[in-house]
């Protein structure tokens, strides 16, 4: 059964690559979401191995916290990056 833990742990570095090198903020938030799902799965695996079911409560709280955290970062970025007009962006970029 321990190969599940190894595969789940080996899945994290490619997502970390996307989190570090992602060109946009959205890519980083997406990578953060996937890493949160992987950590929830690892916590569930440890609750199975040690046969203590209250680790799953921690996994549930972690899922709730990561969800609210990502929504809060999106809201913060909406506030502090105002939407420019299209003509202005075309003039500055082209």
Partner 1 sequence: MIAYFFIIIGLVIMLFGILGMIILPNFLLRIHSSTKCGVTGAINILIGFMFYSLELDFLLRMGLIMIFLFFTAPIIAHSLAVFHLQGRNIDQGDEE
Is residue 5 close enough to count as binding partner 1 by CB under 8 A? no
SS3 33: helix
Q: Which two tokens stand for residue 80?
A: 């502090």
Radius of gyration of the chain (CA): 18
User: How many residues bind partner 1, per CB under 8 A?
Assistant: 45
Is residue 65 close enough to count as binding partner 1 by CB under 8 A? no
51: left (phi over 0), alpha (psi -120 to 50) or beta: left
Q: Which two tokens stand for residue 66?
A: 């990561």
Is residue 64 close enough to count as binding partner 1 by CB under 8 A? yes
The residue ranges that bind partner 1 (CB under 8 A) are: 1, 4, 7-8, 11, 14-15, 17-18, 23-27, 29-31, 33-34, 37, 40-41, 44-45, 47-48, 51, 53, 56-57, 59-60, 63-64, 67, 70-71, 74, 77-78, 81, 83-84, 89, 93
């Amino acid at each position: 059964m321990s190969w599940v833990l190894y595969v789940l742990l080996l899945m994290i570095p490619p997502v970390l690559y996307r989190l570090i090198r992602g060109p946009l903020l959205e890519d980083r938030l997406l990578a953060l979401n996937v890493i949160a799902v992987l950590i929830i799965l690892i916590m569930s695996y440890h609750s199975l191995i040690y046969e203590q079911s209250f680790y799953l409560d921690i996994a549930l709280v972690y899922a709730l916290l990561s969800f609210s955290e990502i929504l809060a970062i999106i809201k913060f970025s909406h506030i502090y990056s105002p939407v420019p007009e299209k003509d202005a962006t075309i003039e500055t970029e082209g």
